[in-house]
Amino acid sequence: EYDIDKNLRSPICVVLGHVDTGKTLILDKIRKTRVQEGEAGGITQQIGATYFPIKSLQKLTNKVNKKHRYKHKLPGLLVIDTPGHETFTNLRSRGSNLCDVAILVVDIMHGIEPQTRESIDLLKKRKTPFVVALNKIDRLYDWNVTENMGFRDTFKNQKKHVQMEFQNRLNETILHFNQLGMNAELYFKNKSIKDTVSLVPTSAVTGEGIPDLLMYVVQLTQKYMIKKLTYLSTFQCTILEVKVIEGHGTTVDVILVNGKIHEGDRIITCGLNGPIDTTIRALLTPQPLKELRVKSEFIRHPVLHAAVGFKISAVGLENSIPGSEVFICGQRDDPEELKERAMKD
């Protein structure tokens, strides 16, 4: 069921958490991809971006949405993957600055770890609503797998001792949150989501609980963020990476947070040797449900609407700086003023 509201942009959901809690593997499970396998040492070292169109979200949440028939209104969801390794604080911070909502991934066997805490601090700083994926439930001893099942249904199928171990580990994680001054509760028992963190048990290996997680994110954005997701005249676009792509020369990977962008637009951004002033030759996205970081067949677009991750191909981008803002210079804009703004951040 969906009824897309044309005045709404897709929200951005960032995935944050301690190293190796399963952030990338959760996305692989949803996308049916194998990005994690291709990472050096199994460690994410860049920000990733994947666009989920509404049709995919609807399919993916169907298992837990049969009874309620919740209507999807948003055009889609842009999901940002971040590294959990301690050295990448700057990338976690950049990711959290772009997002509307977040999934904080916690390993149920470990509870809260140092970069979990760091991620919570980043989210609190910007008052970003988030949900916790309590991941790796399949590692509970004797766990009985039903692939891709909603959590409550699969939990009913577990033996008593498995349910007890789950409860013990859940209690420990809740206690960790309490020690940080926060309440936490299983998402379907949470009666007060404004002041209590929701926990969604998941497994990136078996897909269990993942429909619940996606459904929660969709509801969170639709219920509480409509105002924030209404298209504004403001334009916001941030550079993630500078890359050479065969056949396209130097490109930059960017996230368009708000507004729209066209092929042929004049853009201004910060460069190592002064401002870069150029014209967009091509706007390129991966296929839907494919990761921007990974080489693939790119699709060329005349125009793109937020939120979306894509590549800009243009002359002169080789000196651009990750983290910089991109400005569009329209007929009425003063290029000198935009250059000054670009060089400020």
Residues forming contacts to ligand GTP in the complex (CB under 6 A) are 17, 19-25, 36, 42-44, 83-85, 105, 135-136, 138-139, 203-205
25 binds, among ligand GTP, Mg ion, Na ion, none (CB under 5 to 8 A by kind): ligand GTP
110 binds, among Na ion, Mg ion, ligand GTP, none (CB under 5 to 8 A by kind): none
Complex with ligand GTP: residue 207 or 271, whichever CB lies closer: 207
* Beta-carbon count within 10 A of 299 CB: 13
The helix-helix angle for 54-65 and 210-224 (nearest 10°) equals 110
Query: Helix, strand, or coil here: 340?
Result: helix
**Phi-psi map region of 120: left, alpha, beta (phi>0 left; psi -120 to 50 alpha):** alpha
Closest C-alpha among 135, 146, 45 to residue 90: 45
Complex with Mg ion: residue 180 or 205, whichever CB lies closer: 205
For residue 264, state whether it binds Na ion (rule: CB under 5 A): no
**How many alpha carbons lie under 13 Å from residue 257 in its C-beta half-sphere?**
22
For residue 24, state whether it binds Mg ion (rule: CB under 5 A): yes
Looking only at residues 22 through 81 of this chain, which bind Na ion when binding is defined by CB under 5 A? 42
Distances (CA, A) of 17 to 31, 93, 268, 344: 19, 12, 33, 30
- Supply the minimum distance, in Å, between the C-beta of residue 13 and Mg ion: 15
- Supply the minimum distance, in Å, between the C-beta of residue 84 and Mg ion: 6
- Judged by CB under 5 A, which of 10, 13, 15, 20 binds Na ion? 20
CA dist 191 and 180 (Å) reads 20
Which residues lie below 8 Å from residue 223, measured CB to CB, with a gap of 6+?
none
- Supply the minimum distance, in Å, between the C-beta of residue 18 and ligand GTP: 7
Q: Under a CB-based contact definition with an 8 Å cutoff, are residues 159 and 144 in contact? A: yes
Binding mask 39-78 for Mg ion (x = CB under 5 A): -----x----------------------------------
Which range in 20-28, 72-80, 194-202, 311-319 contacts Na ion by CB under 5 A?
A: 20-28
- Supply the minimum distance, in Å, between the C-beta of residue 43 and ligand GTP: 4
Q: Under a CB-based contact definition with an 8 Å cutoff, are residues 246 and 230 in contact? A: no
- Supply the minimum distance, in Å, between the C-beta of residue 148 and Mg ion: 21
Complex with Mg ion: residue 41 or 247, whichever CB lies closer: 41
Complex with ligand GTP: residue 42 or 264, whichever CB lies closer: 42
DSSP 246: T
Enumerate binding residues for Mg ion (CB under 5 A): 23-24, 44
